[in-house]
A = this chain, B = another copy of it.
């Protein structure tokens, strides 16, 4: 079977936007097609990764809206929802559309419009993806993160500062990303003294609420060669679920969805953790960066914090730069967009378009997490020419 290539990428400004989901999707969609040099009438399938446009805006049918606005008709258009991993699921859907032979040119756009709602309203919408057996007791995603962080720090004798260093690193990277919501560095003291949200986690351990979108263009490798001298190919992609009821998991510090999707993606690609040159992990909370590093084999269980402390994940000096984009922490987290934006960063790193954030990379990985690890997608890309 022919490999599936990625030949174009885009990302809108993330942050508080004076634009509706319709505008955001169109902005990223047009930019991705332009980046790929693909005309709208060449698009055969179009996927929109979005968690909750109905709840946030009262607008459904947004894939029809995008197909209409970008003049893609009669292209097939569908919305992909996998909660906060909708973007990664969109990558998987786009890959399947090309790999199955259903489409020779697939546009994926992920987006979410959130900031017009209050933080309380947004939190309620997001909490609706948790299991009602837990939500009825008032448990939200940040509280899962707080409990898990406390357990991790105590069990593995890890310093609180190591979590803070994730935030410092990702803000430093985000300062070089023109599309990031927060383009400013923060020091460790600021992180450690910010207001408590879910003890021991504080404000700077959490990603913000964000508007934004991102796009990717997929096609068979033989078609890619008509459009680009250098492109990326999806070497491996796989998804997995974990228990919807979080407290049923045997070990809260090991996310089985990460482990399972990672193992399957590695197997499909023929690569292992040691082959990955750059990674985008789902740092919705700083503790998640540790859990994904360990679940994906970048560190032994309980030891990710040591690699962070040692500087291994720093962009310019480490041997495994993580979240060169700034991550969700600094770049922002418009739910359905985030998994696609992870793919955009890895694509740009592989084809040498990452500007001041550029690292030396031939193989990259992204891991998109839905809920509190309820569903996870791992994608491995490599550069090709």
Residues of B within 8 A of A242 (CB): 73-74
Q: Which of the residues B61, B129, B240 comes within 8 Å of A74, measured between beta carbons?
A: B240
Grouping DSSP codes into helix (H, G, I), strand (E, B) and loop, the A interface class, with mixed when no group exceeds half, is mixed
| B61/A83 in contact, CB under 8 A | yes
Check A371 for interface membership: any CB of B closer than 8 A: yes
A95-B67 Cα distance, complex, nearest whole Å: 22
Within the complex, the shortest CB–CB distance from A26 to chain B, in Å, comes to: 12
| B93/A82 in contact, CB under 8 A | no
Instruction: Flag the segment in A6-14, A47-55, A164-172, A199-207 that touches B.
Output: A47-55
Within the complex, the shortest CB–CB distance from A65 to chain B, in Å, comes to: 5
Residues of B within 8 A of A374 (CB): 61, 64
In the complex, residue of chain B having the shortest beta-carbon distance to the beta carbon of A256? B74
| Chain multiplicity (copies) | 2
Total contacting residues, chain A, CB less than 8 A? 58
| B96/A65 in contact, CB under 8 A | no
A75-B375 Cα distance, complex, nearest whole Å: 9
Knowing A78-B80, A240-B76, the reply to whether A68 touches B245 (Cβ < 8 A) is yes
Q: Which of the residues B74, B79, B96, B371 comes within 8 Å of A257, measured between beta carbons?
A: B74
| A241/B64 in contact, CB under 8 A | yes
Residues of B within 8 A of A256 (CB): 73-74
Within the complex, the shortest CB–CB distance from A229 to chain B, in Å, comes to: 27
A101-B58 Cα distance, complex, nearest whole Å: 36
A102-B100 Cα distance, complex, nearest whole Å: 9
Check A130 for interface membership: any CB of B closer than 8 A: yes
In the complex, residue of chain B having the shortest beta-carbon distance to the beta carbon of A1? B101
Knowing A55-B54, A77-B241, the reply to whether A131 touches B83 (Cβ < 8 A) is no
In the complex, residue of chain B having the shortest beta-carbon distance to the beta carbon of A22? B132
Within the complex, the shortest CB–CB distance from A29 to chain B, in Å, comes to: 14
Knowing A89-B78, A256-B74, the reply to whether A244 touches B64 (Cβ < 8 A) is yes
A99-B74 Cα distance, complex, nearest whole Å: 22
| A63/B375 in contact, CB under 8 A | yes
| A239/B61 in contact, CB under 8 A | no
A55-B55 Cα distance, complex, nearest whole Å: 6
Residue-wise, chain A 85-124 has the 8 Å CB interface mask toward B (1 for contact) of 0000100110111011110000000000000000000000
Residues of B within 8 A of A96 (CB): 93, 96-97, 100, 102
| A129/B239 in contact, CB under 8 A | no
Knowing A73-B242, A241-B74, the reply to whether A64 touches B375 (Cβ < 8 A) is yes
A367-B347 Cα distance, complex, nearest whole Å: 38
| B51/A60 in contact, CB under 8 A | yes
A228-B245 Cα distance, complex, nearest whole Å: 35
Within the complex, the shortest CB–CB distance from A177 to chain B, in Å, comes to: 29
Question: Which of A76, A80, A82 counts the most chain B CB atoms within 10 A?
Answer: A76
In the complex, residue of chain B having the shortest beta-carbon distance to the beta carbon of A128? B60
Question: Which of A54, A64, A83, A128 counts the most chain B CB atoms within 10 A?
Answer: A64
Knowing A55-B54, A80-B78, A239-B76, the reply to whether A61 touches B244 (Cβ < 8 A) is yes
A125-B61 Cα distance, complex, nearest whole Å: 11
A79-B372 Cα distance, complex, nearest whole Å: 17
Knowing A96-B97, A244-B61, the reply to whether A82 touches B78 (Cβ < 8 A) is yes
Check A260 for interface membership: any CB of B closer than 8 A: yes
A348-B130 Cα distance, complex, nearest whole Å: 36
A168-B242 Cα distance, complex, nearest whole Å: 48
| A to B CB contacts below 8 Å, 11 in the list | A55-B55, A60-B128, A64-B244, A65-B131, A68-B131, A73-B256, A75-B241, A76-B239, A78-B81, A80-B80, A92-B102
10 closest A-B pairs by beta carbon, nearest first, are A61-B129, A99-B100, A68-B244, A60-B129, A100-B100, A74-B240, A76-B239, A79-B81, A74-B260, A96-B96
